[in-house]
Amino acid sequence: MAAHHSSFLRTIAAISGVYDAGVGLTLLLAAGWLAGAFGVPPAHPPIFSDLNAIFLLAIGIGYYRPWRDPVGARWYLWVMGPGLKGAGAVLFITDYIVRHSPASFLLFAASDGTLAVLTLAALVSSGSRSEHRRR
């Protein structure tokens, strides 16, 4: 059963890493196209989208460690999954309601929120199993 939980954590890390790195790479190489696809003007000055792209690439690369060692790098999954992705999902929804950002941004809320919930479920499930084994 522990192998199943470790495998699920590895899968979540791989999906999250590819997702973040993919969005970061797209933002870095095709910021104008991405902005147009979401119905917003490109960031001005462009350094704002460049920095967000680098941030997302770094996060995506960071998922390599939990993919290789999901038990040893649980902290990264906690911080970037339920922490960052969960907060991001809440902010996307809040921005849509309060500042009337485009409905297309809810796609990020849905993807970040889904990954946050899946990561939380995998961490809680595998954590309760390892706690039980230590007793």
Tell me the chain's radius of gyration from C-alpha atoms: 16
Q: What is the pLDDT of residues 78-122, one digit of tens each?
A: 999 999 999 999 999 999 999 999 999 999 999 999 999 999 999
* pLDDT for res 126: 87
Q: What is the pLDDT of residues 46-80, one digit of tens each?
A: 999 999 999 999 999 999 999 999 999 999 999 99
- What the block records as the tokens of 110 is 């849905």
Burial of 110-120, coded b for 16+ CB within 10 Å and e otherwise, reads: ebbbebbebbb
Cα 131 to Cα 100: distance, rounded to the nearest angstrom: 44
* pLDDT for res 128: 58
Query: pTM for this one?
Result: 0.88
* pLDDT for res 134: 47
Cα 95 to Cα 80: distance, rounded to the nearest angstrom: 20
Helix, strand or coil, per DSSP, at residue 19? helix
Q: Tokens 């007793």 — which residue?
A: 135
Backbone angles phi, psi at 105, to 5 degrees: -65, -20
Domain spans of the chain?
Answer: 2-134
Q: What is the pLDDT of residues 10-19, one digit of tens each?
A: 999 999 999 9
